[in-house]
Amino acid sequence: MIQVQQVNHTFLIGKKGKEKKVPVLKGLSFEVKQGEIVAIVGKSGSGKSTLLHTIAGFMSPEQGSITVNGQETANLNETERAVFRLNNFGFIFQNFQLMPGLTAFENVELPLKLKGISPKKRKESVEQMMDKVGLTEVGDHYPNELSGGQQQRVSIARALITNPPILFADEPTGSLDSETEQDILLLIQNLNQTLGVTFVMITHDEEVASIAHRTFKMRDGELVKGDAL
């Protein structure tokens, strides 16, 4: 489903005219199979978030190739990457990134509006998704009226509403207490098993990584343990 082959990337740091290149990703190669939960684990600065951004098409690697569902994505332009993301990916963030002026229902509905889905179909889809993540009673609540766990469930529902084959989760429980973290991890496992969604999780938390089928560990831009190809 996802193939990463010899991906390299550098950042420029320092004052203008005196910049130097710092390697961030160093020859990474691995694959993610359909229906897997994969965790990419590493400390801050290890390169794991940069890796997620390249796989998800927010940026192109300087070298190497990334293929998702048979589509080479590294050379797509910005418009093509945006369309590809909308059709293939869902995103779950540590800080939820909900629209504060929209209700829980409207936050989940938003991706369907972007795809031009009719109001009737949107309503049916959102109601079904809210039920799957246990939010049927809070659809008319705004984000500031919800607990952290409820906000993350809204984020997950929004990520799933377009039925993407792949979900990226960037520190999905980083803002939650330990009990709520367990609830969200159980939900991710349930969605993976019942819907067959592929999850790629970025985390520094070994407990989060423990639900993964496979774990890749990163240090200084390299894979140091895992199923590298």
What CATH number does residue 132 fall under? 3.40.50.300
Query: Considering the domain boundaries, does residue 14 fall inside one?
Result: no
Q: How many Å apart are CA 186 and CA 194, to the nearest integer?
A: 12
pLDDT for 227 equals: 47
Residue 99 binned pLDDT confidence (cut-offs 50, 70, 90): very high
Residue 143 binned pLDDT confidence (cut-offs 50, 70, 90): very high
Query: Considering the domain boundaries, does residue 133 fall inside one?
Result: yes
Determine what percent of the chain falls in helix, strand and coil, rounding each to the nearest 5.
Answer: 35, 30, 35
**CA neighbor of 132 nearest in space, from 64, 192, 69:** 192
Query: Considering the domain boundaries, does residue 66 fall inside one?
Result: no
Query: Considering the domain boundaries, does residue 105 fall inside one?
Result: yes
Contact 37, 216 (CB under 8 A): no
What number is the average pLDDT over the span 136-158? 94
Query: Considering the domain boundaries, does residue 208 fall inside one?
Result: yes
Residue 210 binned pLDDT confidence (cut-offs 50, 70, 90): very high
pLDDT over 70 (residue 125): yes
Question: Looking at the DSSP assignment, which residues form a beta bridge with residue 92?
Answer: 169
Residue 190 binned pLDDT confidence (cut-offs 50, 70, 90): very high
Query: Considering the domain boundaries, does residue 1 fall inside one?
Result: no
pLDDT for 225 equals: 65
What number is the average pLDDT over the span 31-49? 92
Query: Considering the domain boundaries, does residue 218 fall inside one?
Result: yes
Those residues with Cβ within 8 angstroms of residue 139's Cβ, 6 or more apart along the chain or in another chain: 103, 104, 105, 126, 127, 130
- Domain coverage including residue 83: 36-60+76-225
Percent of the chain past pLDDT 90, that is, above it, reads 67
Number of domains within the chain = 1
pLDDT for 229 equals: 36
pLDDT for 9 equals: 93
Query: Considering the domain boundaries, does residue 85 fall inside one?
Result: yes
Residue 133 binned pLDDT confidence (cut-offs 50, 70, 90): very high
